[in-house]
Every structure is written in structure tokens, then in C-alpha cells.
Amino acid sequence: MPYAGLTVDARTRDLRLDSSRLESLLESAKILGSSLDLREQLNHLMRTVMGRLLVTRALVALRDGEGWRAAAVRGLREIGEGERVDPQRLAGLGLTVQIPIGEGAREAGFLALPPPRRPGWPDDDSEREFLEALLSLASATIENALAHEEIVEANRELARRIHELNTLVELARAFSSTIDPEEIARVLMLTLSGRWTVRRHALLAWPREQAPLKLARNVSDEELARWRALAEGAAEPVRDGEFLLAPLRSGEATIGVVALGAPATGEDYTPEDVEFCAALAAQASVALDNAWRIQDTLYRRQMERELELASAIQRDLFPKRLPEVPGLELAAANRQARLVGGDYYDVLGDARRPLLCVADVAGKGISASLLMATIQATLRALLVFPLELTDLVNRANALLCGSMPGNRYATLFTARYDAASGTLEYVNAAQCEAILARRGGGIELLEATGLPIGMFPGVHYEARRLELAPGDVLVIYSDGVTDAQAPTEEEFGLERLADCVRRLAGGTAQQICDGVLEAVSQFVEETPQYDDITVMVARRVSESE
């Protein structure tokens, strides 16, 4: 019964086919149900479909917004995975059999194949039914996998957000624990380069009253200059090619820029990234501003402390009391400028042959005060030796040249008065011309006889000699007197001072000294005093006194 035998064979084959389809479905259900990995599921689906239907090309497209995207592609060079596709184009490529995955409006995607080579297709209903069963099985699990992917992505997004929040909080803490602008810049750039995997980056700041700040990695000076120009007018982040530029602002002004190169991950900055970067830059701007302000305050405080110290040193250098010199009245006064100047006066040595000194040290502050102390110590030390006045000044100059820093010098008027003879010998080392008011009303000016001391070691100073007659008045002073300014910016000047001395010459040395200072005070009114004012008055008393 060959015919009947054939029939049995065909039935057996059908049964075997059916059972293999069932096995395959069962296996698929197991595999598809056991994984949430979309890729694994699609791979399995492809293997099964291609194996059963004997096709070499296949594509699974999944819904992406309004269209479709290729999620798994086999044997097609024309289309890459992830690419957007549409049914017509696929049909054009020969994938004319297109079977939906999932049903109706909830269709998750479709499978596209060329007409299968399996004998009997498309008339063999059971093969088509099997395929539909497989796809319907797949649709549920693909949707699960898609939902899982979404959750994973949402979790990653959440992790990113939490990380951003942590970053903000952490930076606030880090910024508040330092007042070093460079440290702030460093922490900011580490954070930004880490957050977006940036290899090329820079921070440039040009605050108004502080040293500029520059931190750059793998960028050129040319780029820095361009970014500065681009940021100057910008309040919001701007782009320069691959670079994202976030301005650093202080009030309404841009005082710096942060530049970030393209992320190494290959992704570009999203609008959220730009916003976050701007927030971090703003936070850093405030921290930098504060740090600069604190440094400013500290610097000013240090300056003030230094000035106080300088002022104290200077006060200690002035003689507490002037010596009693037979036949000579002495008075002296010093009025310190707010920003300590470098005036110094003294009367040194033997009371019968005293040395009168008025000096003005170049510069201000603590270094000027220390220089004054050096001058005083040098003169005192030299007075131990019986030296002529010129020798004394020559040696003092030589010694001071060795001990004064390069650009330092002092002007000095020094005079030695001999009480026995009434002779006055003086050296004027570039100090203001002293005024000698003769009893008869004549005025003589004792002009400079040499260069300032402490400048040139080999210089020889000349001395002049004059007789002080009873009633004669010598006024030695610093340029703070003649340079004193009225509100009109007019200077007190030598002429006004000489007139003043002539007018006061009848009084005691103390009265003359007080009178000169009073005249200067009236002249300047409320104008701030910029330089030290020093006046020393020596008056030879008349025999009747």
C-alpha cells in the first residue's frame, strides 16, 4: 500500500512539524520570559524566525515616537541598527512580508522579511499561524523589556540628578572652606571635567583689583584670548565650536570665563547640561568674589597694622626732650601724615656743641621708619669720634650707602652749633633751604650744599659756616611744610614760610615753632595731610634774656 504509506508519511511529517513548532514556541516562551534584556530577546526572535522560515535577511523595527526604528537587522547592508525605517523603504529592499508585533494601536513594532523559501509559504496556514503566535508571545515580552529599559534609563537619569545635586551641595561646602581663589578655580575645573569627561578646559578670570587667574589644560593662549572676548559681553553661556563657554559674573560685569571642550564620551552638551554648568559657574563666581574681597580686607588690615607699627617706631625715634644748650633756645615739632612719612629730627651730642638734624627719608611705611632708625644709630655712633662736621657726614653717607637698599636715600640738614663762639656750621644734603631770620629783619636761605645721603658712597660734602647773633632765628624744616596744600591745591611755599618766620622772629623758639605749624594749619584748612611736617627752630638768645 504505497499510496496509503505515503499518506501516513505525510501525516507523520505534519505531526512532527506541529510538534517542532510547539517545542519552538515553548522554548521561545521560556527564553523570552526569562530575560528583560531587549537585545537578547530580539536575537532569539531573529534566530528562530530565520531558522524556521529559511530566510537570510530580516529586520525588526520598533516604535519610536511617530515612526519606526530598526532594532535588529540581519543580512541587510543598507540599514544599520538604530536607524529610522519605514515599511515602504523596507518593501523596496525586498522585505515585502511585514508582520506586526503586538496588536492594533499598541503595536510595538513589526517584523519584515523577504518571502520565505519554505515550501508551501504563503499557503501553509500553520507556518503563518506559528509565526503569529511567536510574534504575539514576543510582543508582550518586548514591551516588558522596553518598559524595563525605560525604568533603567529613568534610574540612570535619577542617579544623574542626584549626582548633580550632590555636586552642588558639595561645591558649596568646598567653596566656603577656602579663601584661596586658585583653590576655588581648581576644584571647579576638576568638578566640571569630571562631570562631562572633558579633556580640554580652562578658567580665566580678570577681576578689577586683583591678580588675574588662569587655569588651562590643553588649550592655547590664542583660544583663551578669543574666549575672553566672547565672554566679555555675555551673561549666559555661549558656544565656540566644540567649546562651551560659561561667563563668570560679578554684579553686572563679566570677570571671567570657564571653557569646556567636547565631552570625551562623544555626546554633546544638552540644554540641561548647559544650565547646570551655568549654575556651577555662578556658584564659583560668588565664591571667587568673596575670596577676593576677603583677601582685599586682609591686605588692607595688614597694611594698617604695618603703618601703626611704623608710626610707633617713628615716634620712639624722636627725642623725648631737647637738650638745654647755653645761649640757644630750641624747639621742634613733627606732625605725622596719616600714611606715615619719613621725617626725622634730633639734637645729638654734647650740649655745648650740639648737632641739630632734620632728615627726610624717601618712601613711607615701615621700611622708611627702619631707615630713619639706621640714620639715627649711624649718627650717634659717629658722634663718639671727634670728627669735623664734613667728616661726620662723609662717613655717615659711606656707611648708609652700604646698609640702605638700592633705591633708598635721605635728605639731611645737619648743623653743629658752638655755644662758646656762637658759630654754626652746617651741611645741607639736598634738604629744603633752611631759613635764617636775622634780628634786623633780613632773611637768608641756607641752600643745599650736597646730594642726598645714602646714594653715592664716594661723595664729599661741603660745610658752610655762619655766625648766629643774639636774636637770630634759624628754622629748619621738611618739605611737608612748603608742600602743604590748601583746598585750592595752592602750596604753602617758601615765600609764605619766610614771611611767617620774619613775622614771628621776635618770639621764643617755641612760639615760632607753634606759630609756623598754626599758619600751615590755617592755610590747608581741611585738606588731608599727605606728607610729614617737621619744624625745628633754634634761636640765639640776646644777652638781656
Partner 1 sequence: MTRSFSIETKNHGPVRVIAIRGYLDAHTAPQFENVVAEELRAGRCRLVVDCTDLDYISSAGLGVFMTFIDEARQAGGDIKLAAIQPKVYQIFDVLGFPALFDIQPSVEQAVARFDGAAEKD
User: Contact residues for partner 1 (CB under 8 A)?
Assistant: 156, 159-160, 163, 166-167, 170-171, 173-174, 177, 183, 186-187, 189-199, 217-218, 263-265, 267
Closer of 198 and 356 to partner 1 (Cβ):
198
Write down the least CB distance from residue 258 to partner 1, Å: 13
Write down the least CB distance from residue 148 to partner 1, Å: 17
φ and ψ of 253, to 5 deg: -105, 145
- C-alpha cell belonging to residue 50: 530565520
CA torsion 478-483-486-490 (nearest 10°) is 150
Write down the least CB distance from residue 79 to partner 1, Å: 25
Pairing mode, if any, of strands 238-240 and 434-437?
Answer: unpaired
Closer of 244 and 358 to partner 1 (Cβ):
244
Closer of 12 and 176 to partner 1 (Cβ):
176
Write down the least CB distance from residue 182 to partner 1, Å: 10
Closer of 159 and 298 to partner 1 (Cβ):
159
Closer of 88 and 177 to partner 1 (Cβ):
177
Write down the least CB distance from residue 279 to partner 1, Å: 13
Closer of 117 and 160 to partner 1 (Cβ):
160
Closer of 171 and 366 to partner 1 (Cβ):
171
Write down the least CB distance from residue 168 to partner 1, Å: 10
Rounded Cα gap, residues 277 and 538, in angstroms: 74
Write down the least CB distance from residue 267 to partner 1, Å: 7
Write down the least CB distance from residue 313 to partner 1, Å: 41
Write down the least CB distance from residue 187 to partner 1, Å: 5
Rounded Cα gap, residues 393 and 408, in angstroms: 17
With beta carbons less than 8 A apart as the criterion, state whether 71 and 38 touch: yes
- C-alpha cell belonging to residue 153: 534609563
Work out the end-to-end distance of the chain between its first and last CA atoms, rounded to an integer number of angstroms: 172
Write down the least CB distance from residue 183 to partner 1, Å: 7
Half-sphere CA count of 52, side-chain side, radius 13 A: 24
- CB atoms closer than 10 angstroms to residue 140: 15
Closer of 192 and 357 to partner 1 (Cβ):
192
Please provide the DSSP assignment of 30-66 as one string: HHHHH---HHHHHHHHHHHHHHHHT-S-EEEEEEETT
Closer of 214 and 353 to partner 1 (Cβ):
214
Closer of 179 and 348 to partner 1 (Cβ):
179
Please provide the DSSP assignment of 311-360 as one string: HHHHHHHS-SS---BTTEEEEEEEE--SS---EEEEEES-TTS-EEEEEE
Rounded Cα gap, residues 260 and 197, in angstroms: 10
Write down the least CB distance from residue 36 to partner 1, Å: 18
- Alpha helices for 59-203 (secondary structure H): 87-92, 125-176, 181-195
CA torsion 464-465-469-475 (nearest 10°) is 30
Three-state DSSP at 208 gives coil
Quick one: which of 5, 85, 71, 7 has its CA closest to 39? 71
Closer of 57 and 148 to partner 1 (Cβ):
148
With beta carbons less than 8 A apart as the criterion, state whether 362 and 412 touch: no
